[in-house]
Amino acid sequence: MDKAISEIIERLKKYPNADYKLDENSVIVKKNNDNGFSVSLTSNGNRNYTVAFDIWHEEFDNEIDALNCFAFGLSKDCRLKTVKKSGRPIKWTVQSNENGNWIDGSTTGLINLAFWKKSEVVYLHNDLIK
């Protein structure tokens, strides 16, 4: 098992409410509330990692940065701004809470051929780490 994944499993022992799935190359913490989102870390080999919040994802070539991003996704200071069209999610933007203001970070999106339809914005939020 990858060192980063072992570190996550060890840290998750502090959170008995955490529901997670583990395999040889990844760990996925399932959403812990109705408005939450899953958080995963996948080891891609050669100390390269992918961290994902639902569909949003980012690549890391540094274990510490990947672990910090993973923990951030489980914290109350992170939320996922999700844009939907016709009830289907099409865009995910990570936001961070800075002094009470939500600041946009990076975005992952899908090609949307129904661009004329009305958008709905939903905010997903985990609170495993207070």
Residue 4 half-sphere exposure toward CB, CA atoms < 13 A? 28
Q: What is the pLDDT of residue 86?
A: 87
Count other Cβ atoms within 10 Å, centred on residue 11: 15
pLDDT tens over the chain, length 130 residues:
789 999 999 999 999 889 999 998 999 999 988 899 999 999 998 889 999 999 999 999 999 999 999 999 999 999 999 999 988 999 999 999 999 999 999 999 988 777 788 999 999 999 888 7
Q: What is the pLDDT of residue 121?
A: 97
- The answer to the question of residue 130 being in a domain is no
Parent domain of 11: 3-73
Q: What is the pLDDT of residue 101?
A: 97
Give the number of domains in the chain.
2
Phi, psi values for residue 13, rounded to 5°: -60, -25
What is the sign of the dihedral through the CA atoms of 17, 90, 49 and 25?
positive
Are residues 35 and 69 both part of a single domain?
A: yes
- Domain end, chosen from 54, 73, 92, is at 73
56-60 and 101-109: which strand pairing? unpaired
Are residues 37 and 87 both part of a single domain?
A: no
